[in-house]
Homo-oligomer: A and B are copies of this chain.
Amino acid sequence: MARTQGSHSETTGPRIRAAAETLFARHGYAAVSMRQIAGAVGLQAGALYNYTPDKQSLLVDLMQRHMEALMGAWAQEVQGDTALAALEAFARFHIRFNLARRDAVFIAYNELRNLEPEGFAQIEALRNAYEGELAGILTAGREAGLFQLEEPRVTTRAVIALLNGVLTWYRDDGRLSLEEVESLHWQMVRRLVGV
């Protein structure tokens, strides 16, 4: 407790990122001003520049942290020993993880166009790595004779798109529970890949 009450440097960074994430997701990166972000955290705009060199870096930082959290969490997931078990694990993980971080996901998918080339390349590489995880499962399942896929790359993207659809309509207080939504989508994915 040596720190004085006025010094918040260890918490304001995360609070700034949290506020920016919410605001960017709701209104879009371009539509949100540094003043709005500062206001949400109880700061003046100038103070933000103690935490980020500029607005663009704030966006890149959010996306990078999200993609790395996604990859890290998937790496720790129990994946089973068959392609079928791995696919179920992926489908359920993707829905669960992304629904818990909708703002970050929304930003990662919709603000890529507002990234300058270097940031864009970084984020795209991380996304390709994640899609590659699913692609690996699908091709393994095809080689094992479990799945029926005409075009693994197309199927990979189709499965991701299908799962991401949930993010646009699911509500925590809605008719269906998370577990039900997971299971419904797993059944659809299962049929889609021709099990």
Min distance, Cβ A86 to any Cβ of chain B, angstroms: 19
In the complex, the chain B residue whose C-beta lies closest to that of A162 is B162
B residues near A29, Cβ cutoff 8 Å: 28, 31
Q: Give the total of A residues in contact with B, Cβ under 8 Å.
A: 33
Min distance, Cβ A182 to any Cβ of chain B, angstroms: 11
In the complex, the chain B residue whose C-beta lies closest to that of A181 is B154
A161 lies within 8 A of B155 (CB): no
Is there a chain B Cβ closer than 8 Å to A4's Cβ? no
Is there a chain B Cβ closer than 8 Å to A1's Cβ? no
B residues near A31, Cβ cutoff 8 Å: 29-30, 114
B residues near A110, Cβ cutoff 8 Å: 110
CA A176 to CA B168, docked complex, whole Å: 28
Min distance, Cβ A179 to any Cβ of chain B, angstroms: 13
A113 lies within 8 A of B188 (CB): no
**Per-position 1/0 for A24-47, Cβ under 8 A of B:** 001111110000000000000000
Given A26-B113, A28-B113, A28-B114, A188-B158 contact (CB < 8 Å)? yes
In the complex, the chain B residue whose C-beta lies closest to that of A169 is B157
B residues near A113, Cβ cutoff 8 Å: 26-28
Given A161-B161, A176-B151, A188-B192 contact (CB < 8 Å)? yes
**Per-position 1/0 for A103-142, Cβ under 8 A of B:** 0000000100110000000000000000000000000000
Is there a chain B Cβ closer than 8 Å to A187's Cβ? yes
Min distance, Cβ A142 to any Cβ of chain B, angstroms: 14
